[in-house]
Structure 1
């Protein structure tokens, strides 16, 4: 099941407002949202692509999740071609 399907199944709006404390890590966010780590390849924090293990966020940040298997051209456009 992809992330879009997960959001639909759970009835979550897009974007989904989530409260986080300063310094929340990618793994903490995924646990908070009950999303399996293998479902997320890249986390975008304020437009910057990082691996989920390196992501750090605070309240007010804009965060996006990308699943594994994003096609090559989109990887280039989104800025995570080499990840």
Structure 2
């Protein structure tokens, strides 16, 4: 089975949480070809799930039950993004699992 390393970025409060723990705000995660669910990756990275509103995958916001595959561009989006930005970025529906 071939695996590939994918960069996972953290924005806002998630970035701060990682920095306060002495960790980088961009983590390298090894993913199998079939990918892994974003929530599993968040737990592996010790991110508080209650502080995650969604995940950008290839420039589109999804809920954290979305599968991340090798080569995807990924960033976790924290809760608390201000109103106008929520709509422009498509975050308003991200927290709703499909």
TM score, norm. by length of structure 1? 0.80
Q: Which runs of 5+ in 2 are unaligned?
A: 1-12
Higher share in strand: 2
Q: Which runs of 5+ in 1 are unaligned?
A: none
Tell me which stretches of 4 or more aligned residues in structure 1 moved more than 3 Å: 10-15
TM score, norm. by length of structure 2? 0.70
Query: Cα 1:82–1:25, aligned 2, differ >3 Å: closer, same or farther?
Result: closer
How much is the aligned-residue C-alpha RMSD, in angstroms? Answer: 1.7
State how far apart, in whole Å, the 2-side matches of 1:67 and 1:78 are: 13
Alignment of 1:1-83 (within 5 A): 2-21=13-32, 22-53=34-65, 55-83=66-94
State how far apart, in whole Å, the 1-side matches of 2:52 and 2:17 are: 12
Higher share in helix: 1
